[in-house]
Amino acid sequence: MQKGRQRGEDANSSVDGERIQKVLARGGVGSRREIERWINEGRLKINGKPVDLGDRLKNGDHLLINDRIVHWEKFVEQPTRVLLYHKPVGEVVTRRDPEGRPVVFTQLPKLAISRWIAVGRLDINTSGLLLVTNNGELANRLMHPSTQVEREYAVRILGEVSEATIAKLKQGVELEDGKAKFDDIKFFGGEGANKWYNVIVAEGRNRLVRRLWESQEVIVSRLMRVRYGPVVLPERLKARTFYELTDKELDLLFEFAGMAGEKPAIAAKPEFKAHKSGKR
């Protein structure tokens, strides 16, 4: 079985005749929506002519984005891959950091084609599950606000929290960027000053979990994402290591993202295997 088999087509098939936005999204250039916007802005050209939304790529076509050549033919051999990375505190979700802090992308295996795309972000002080993929359309489906994908976090707080505070956080509070709430809050244990809760939100606003607790003057001392949609952080996955989804697991994720028509042709038995990152 070949890991990361091409979604919905044989890995050796041709993209001849496919819409431009589909080919480029598969290669991780951007989401289909982003590429359609670039087309409307006149940033793409085929054989020297501006691209229209319905245009399709054919073998031998010369494609430019912002007047730069795109070797789109190689995307025919681009299998979809998804990694579960256990991000530690102290790393930032960016490609380059001007302050010289460790970045998550240097911890991942290098791709010969396209690039890794983070599905959502975690701030420098938040650890836990980070999904990365080379499929721009899949990433966009999982992040788009309209999908309202659940994110679950384990939160350690300092002090006691009243039932009235929990009820208020579930009902909704006004933040500087609009009303927000926890879809669920469950007490998870703890003794002394520190207490653990698991909370669920269905949007990815910046520092949303921390800001919700802070709106009630509750101090968050530790925050870890443990689930993103149907994907759960494996208990055996240590910090700075990653796990690659099998074909069967990719099949389920594509179905969840509303891309069931692009299921893999062959399913594999799930097998847990963690990989150490290249750097520390």
**Cβ–Cβ < 8 Å for 101, 91:** yes
Write b or e for each residue in 213-244: b if 16 or more Cβ atoms lie within 10 A of its Cβ, otherwise e: bebeebebeebbbebbbebebeeebeebbbbb
Catalytic residues: 123
Q: What is the dihedral of CA 135, 145, 201, 275, to 10 degrees?
A: 10
**In the beta sheet, which residues pair with residue 84?**
131, 243
Structure tokens that stand for 198 in this block = 């698991």
- Report which DSSP code applies to 265: S
User: Residue 178 — left, alpha, or beta (φ > 0 → left; ψ -120 to 50 → alpha)?
Assistant: left
- Per the listing, tokens 């099998």 go with 246
Q: Which two tokens stand for residue 54?
A: 């319905």
